[in-house]
Structure 1
Amino acid sequence: MLVQHLFFSLMERLKEIEEQWTSASKPGKEKLRNEMLQLRALSDEILDHWLTLEEKITQFQQEFSDELSVVDQEIEQMSDEVAAKILKEVKNLNLKEGKDPNLQAAPAPPPPSSPSTISLLTGDAAISFRRGQGYYNLFMFKQASKHFGELLEREPDLDIGRMFLAYSYMMDGQFELARHHFHLLSETTDHRLFRAIALNALGCLMAGNGKWEEAVFIFEKAIDSHSKLGDPLFNVALVYMKLGQYGEAKKSWLNYVERFSDDWEALFQLSQCFRHEGNLLLAEKTMERIYRATDDPELLWQVGQGFEDLRQFGNAALCYQLLVNLDPSKASAWHGLGWNLYHAEGYPYSLQYIQKAISLAPKNPDFQFSYGWILFYMGEWGQAEKVFQHVLQQEKNYPLALAGLVQIMIGKEHWEHVKGYCNQLILDEQTQTRALGHFLQGKAYLIQGNYTAAEKEWKQSIRENPKMKDSYLMLGLVQFLKGEKEQAMECWEYAL
């Protein structure tokens, strides 16, 4: 269509202006600025013409329309299934894992409404609705809220108008006004679908302010209002996870995936619940359902890392292979493939994949460390040492490279070098790095037969980083060797 072609051309030119801006000279930037203002003027002119056309269409509809009901009367007689279809695309702000759960994370699309529904509005009310919806579709939320506000002055009981107004305020960052109208809608509407949508949005606002317990209460009310609406169920499960209540979260995820089996993000979150309760087999099987049926790069990446955490290196490698297939230029995917293939099967050719990652991102120290680490375990100590030293030339005191050198020096029994590298780690600002230094020094003492010194180092490692389970394992080992079997079992039980 000509209109689509016009907007595509405008967007392409705007993108070119954006790309040229940073490298443009001062006169060049002035020229680009003027061109951008011309595009702005053209956009405004198109919008004015479009709104005029909308008004004419609305007036023409009124001439032959005998139906004078308002939108609530039509929705009231709809079945739940029809209502659900109309509002299917009302996608509230799901609290995605790994993101700050606030209302700015992902703007919701406008609540859709069918042409027949809109045609039931008459006069100025219809014009206000059309204008408000037009501005909303253009993401001009401030202007949209103005027209929806005018609509509600004429039709104060129009639920869909209040819902649009609340979403407009939300998208414009006026969260208190949005909260007011969502709350009012939830208290006054006779339609349980609208009530559930309003409550769900209120729950997101509570979660966005860190009021997790209140968010749970509101999401549960939304679920009670309309059990077929999936978003509140999804959101309450995420909030339970945020609160560390994985048992409650698991119940919600199981309920959700039973109805929405193609939501792979929900499956991933469910697998994390199984993992937290120690059911690693179910966690693995749940994640297998994901990589067999999705090509979402972000989700594949999460699943790959989840398999790594479970030490399921073969499954992790499969996820990274799929990522490589989707985007061969992604260095991290090549690195993940090589690293996990080596740990899964010990294949030397996995080094080729690490080398590919380094060629794509030559300054990434993690990739270089992985290359050196695999060389070390293949017995190529000389080459591995060169790699670690090269990393340290680029990144002074890089912890993993220092740890690699410690391992090589332990193998060579160069104890003074071991102590020197461990001290560099122990003097670091980061507690995790200091814990690593004490752990490695303890390992060196154990090999030398100095159990007392080794025990002291591992206890200090635990003090620095209580979550470092390898320190508990090694502390248990040295206690067992000293004949302190009960203490050893306590350490091992905690670690395992």
Structure 2
Amino acid sequence: MFQHVFAEMNDMLDEIITLYPVAQGAQKQDLAKKWHLLKHMSDGMIEEWLNFEEKMGDFRQSWSNPDNAKNVELPEMDCDAFVKGQGYYKLLMFSQGMAQFKLALDQFPESLMARTYLAMCHMHLEQYGEAVPHFWRVLEGTGSKRLRSIIYNALGCIEAQKGIRAKAKEYFTLAHHHDPSLAEPLANLEACMRSSGKLQYGNELTSLL
């Protein structure tokens, strides 16, 4: 739906990146105007996306079936900070998402989902020391096999990044054991054994909500 818009924006940005360093006078001013236009469009799209996510969350709450155990409502789903944090996370804006999930945890300190998202934001920003304690706290409090699998997978990725492959393989195996339907642990285990390939984590979080 938006591919052509982003394609045109990327073409314009590529033009600015290529020409601006050597541009002078009127051409440089014109390129600067184009950059400010792109910035304005980007900020507007992000804001509209966050509003859209909030509406989607409100609607999801209205049609969830209370008799379905999988649709048990989480109190944090009514928290603006949590909903905005999810929007930032999906847009790969992890610093902004982290700030929102911290606000959500201030309101719901026992929220395992907000804590998991917060830990994932830290992880994407390579702040592994901050991420790990949050992951272990969630593991201590959750009975969800899928959430445990997601977290063990993340812990395996951290160990792999640190070069501790034996521990990484152990965590990936635990992740697969808890939820064999989760694809990431096996892919990561294979990448770890081959010492090649990109590690995958955090992509399945939205399936829990």
TM-score (norm 2): 0.72
Q: 2:143 aligns with which of 190, 215, 226?
A: 190
Please tell me whether the aligned partners of residues 142 and 148 of structure 2 are also in contact (alpha carbons under 8 angstroms).
Answer: yes
Q: 1:129 aligns with which of 62, 72, 82?
A: 82
User: After the TM superposition, which residues 67-466 of structure 1 pair with which residues of structure 2 at under 5 Å, given as runs?
Assistant: 77-78=69-70, 120=73, 125-242=78-195
Partner of 1:9: helix, strand, or coil?
A: helix
Give 1:188 shift: 2.0
Deviations 1:320-372 (A, max 9, x none): xxxxxxxxxxxxxxxxxxxxxxxxxxxxxxxxxxxxxxxxxxxxxxxxxxxxx
* Cα distance change of structure 1 residues 154 and 125 upon mapping to structure 2, 3 Å threshold: farther
Q: Distance in 2 between matches of 1:58 and 1:127?
A: 12
* Cα distance change of structure 1 residues 36 and 218 upon mapping to structure 2, 3 Å threshold: same
Deviations 1:450-493 (A, max 9, x none): xxxxxxxxxxxxxxxxxxxxxxxxxxxxxxxxxxxxxxxxxxxx
Give 1:178 shift: 2.1
Please tell me whether the aligned partners of residues 125 and 155 of structure 1 are also in contact (alpha carbons under 8 angstroms).
Answer: no
Aligned partner of 1:40 in structure 2 is 39
Aligned partner of 2:202 in structure 1 is none
Partner of 1:147: helix, strand, or coil?
A: helix
Give 1:154 shift: 2.8
Q: Which has the larger radius of gyration?
A: 1
Please tell me whether the aligned partners of residues 104 and 114 of structure 2 are also in contact (alpha carbons under 8 angstroms).
Answer: yes
| CA RMSD in angstroms, aligned pairs only | 3.5
Please tell me whether the aligned partners of residues 68 and 121 of structure 1 are also in contact (alpha carbons under 8 angstroms).
Answer: no
Deviations 1:274-322 (A, max 9, x none): xxxxxxxxxxxxxxxxxxxxxxxxxxxxxxxxxxxxxxxxxxxxxxxxx
Q: Distance in 1 between matches of 2:44 and 2:126?
A: 27
Q: Distance in 1 between matches of 2:59 and 2:181?
A: 34
Give 1:210 shift: 1.0
Aligned partner of 2:23 in structure 1 is 25
* Cα distance change of structure 1 residues 236 and 60 upon mapping to structure 2, 3 Å threshold: closer
Give 1:5 shift: 4.6
Please tell me whether the aligned partners of residues 223 and 232 of structure 1 are also in contact (alpha carbons under 8 angstroms).
Answer: yes
Deviations 1:44-69 (A, max 9, x none): 233334434555x369649x938697
Please tell me whether the aligned partners of residues 204 and 215 of structure 1 are also in contact (alpha carbons under 8 angstroms).
Answer: yes
* Cα distance change of structure 1 residues 149 and 193 upon mapping to structure 2, 3 Å threshold: same
Please tell me whether the aligned partners of residues 189 and 195 of structure 1 are also in contact (alpha carbons under 8 angstroms).
Answer: yes
Q: Distance in 1 between matches of 2:181 and 2:160?
A: 22
State the identity %.
29
Q: Distance in 2 between matches of 1:42 and 1:234?
A: 37
Partner of 1:65: helix, strand, or coil?
A: helix
Aligned partner of 1:12 in structure 2 is 11
Q: Which has the higher contact order (CA 8 A, sep 6+)?
A: 2
Amino acid at match of 2:9: L
The answer to whether the aligner puts 1:65 opposite 2:57 as a matched pair is no
Deviations 1:12-59 (A, max 9, x none): 32232223345x33444454244213321232233334434555x369
Partner of 2:163: helix, strand, or coil?
A: coil
Q: Distance in 1 between matches of 2:79 and 2:104?
A: 8
Partner of 2:180: helix, strand, or coil?
A: coil
Give 1:142 shift: 0.5
Q: How many residues align?
A: 195
Unpaired segments ≥5 residues, structure 1: 79-115, 243-264, 266-496
Partner of 1:173: helix, strand, or coil?
A: coil
Partner of 2:135: helix, strand, or coil?
A: helix
Unpaired segments ≥5 residues, structure 2: 198-209
Give 1:146 shift: 1.3
* Cα distance change of structure 1 residues 206 and 35 upon mapping to structure 2, 3 Å threshold: same
Q: Distance in 1 between matches of 2:52 and 2:190?
A: 45
Please tell me whether the aligned partners of residues 148 and 178 of structure 2 are also in contact (alpha carbons under 8 angstroms).
Answer: yes
Please tell me whether the aligned partners of residues 183 and 199 of structure 1 are also in contact (alpha carbons under 8 angstroms).
Answer: no
Q: Distance in 1 between matches of 2:49 and 2:90?
A: 13
TM-score (norm 1): 0.34
Deviations 1:74-116 (A, max 9, x none): 6xx45xxxxxxxxxxxxxxxxxxxxxxxxxxxxxxxxxxxxx7
